[in-house]
Amino acid sequence: LNKESSKASLHYARKANQLAKRALTTFDEFLSTFVRTPGQQNSQKPRKFAEDEIRPVMLAHFYSARLHSRLITVNPNEYIRNITRSLAEYRIVVSIVENHVQYHPRSPVQNAEELKIARDMCNLLPVRLTRLARGEPIAAVNA
């Protein structure tokens, strides 16, 4: 019975990862539609988004961050890479919204719940990464 449940768990973990990776690909494709124009490609300035673009872009980065942190892996280095990518996506959320609010101070996106969560995660994930780098068990970090 234990062997069967282990097989089922492995099957569901693979399926969850497969679906998450497909979703990540879809989010990346969506975000690629917002690339800079050829003259702006090498610009260091953050991309400016219109009011009707900012929320979908923010959510795509937010959900990408969430999916990266939920990918199932047994390899600690791969897990650290996933959490690092998740942190980078949360930082992008905060950055693009803060940049947007500079130009649109009354934008409702500044009060989005996802932004609050992203800011919290920008504070919490470095602690998790530090613990993982020290070799603390993943289960202890998730608790």
Question: Per residue in 19-72, pLDDT tens?
Answer: 999 999 999 999 999 876 555 554 455 678 999 999 999 999 999 999 999 999
Percent of the chain with pLDDT over 90: 72
Dist CA 62 CA 69 (whole Å):
11
* All structural domains of the chain with their residue ranges: 2-35+49-142
Retrieve residue 127's tokens: 């602690």
Is the pLDDT at 142 greater than 50, yes or no? no
pTM of the model: 0.85
Q: For residue 99, give the nearest of 59, 40, 48, 60 by alpha carbon.
A: 48
Dist CA 73 CA 20 (whole Å):
13
**68, 70, 74, 75: CA torsion to nearest 10:** 20
